[in-house]
Amino acid sequence: MPMDVNQVNAKNFYIVATAPNEPSLQVKISGPYLTKQAAQADLAAAIDEAMGIDPSAKNYDYSISKIESRKPGVIQHMAAHA
C-alpha cells in the first residue's frame, strides 16, 4: 500500500506510465513507495486501476522509478478527492 503523504521522503519509488509514441510523456500513476519491492507488489493492481480509469492505459509502458517528488501518484490523488 502507498504510504501516508506526510511521511514521504524526497526520493521514493513510483509506478510510472509512459506513452509508447511519446516517451517524454510520463505520468506517476501510483506511489510513493519506500521500497522497489513494495511498488512491484502493487504493479499489477495499479495497471488494472489505471485501465479502469482510462482504457487507453493498456497501450502505455509501465516501469518503477525512483523519483524526487513529494506528490502522490494519480491513483492516490484521485482516492483522496473521491
pLDDT per residue as tens digits for the range 23-58: 898 999 999 999 999 999 999 999 999 999 889 899
Measured between alpha carbons, how far is 42 from 82 in angstroms, rounded to an integer?
A: 20
This prediction's pTM: 0.80
Of 82, 12, 27, 14, give the one whose Cα is nearest residue 57.
27
Q: Which domain holds residue 41?
A: 5-80
Residue 5 pLDDT > 80, yes or no?
Answer: no
Count CB neighbours of 21 within 10 A: 6
Domain count within the chain: 1
List C-alpha distances in Å: 79 to 15, 29, 42, 75.
16, 12, 16, 6
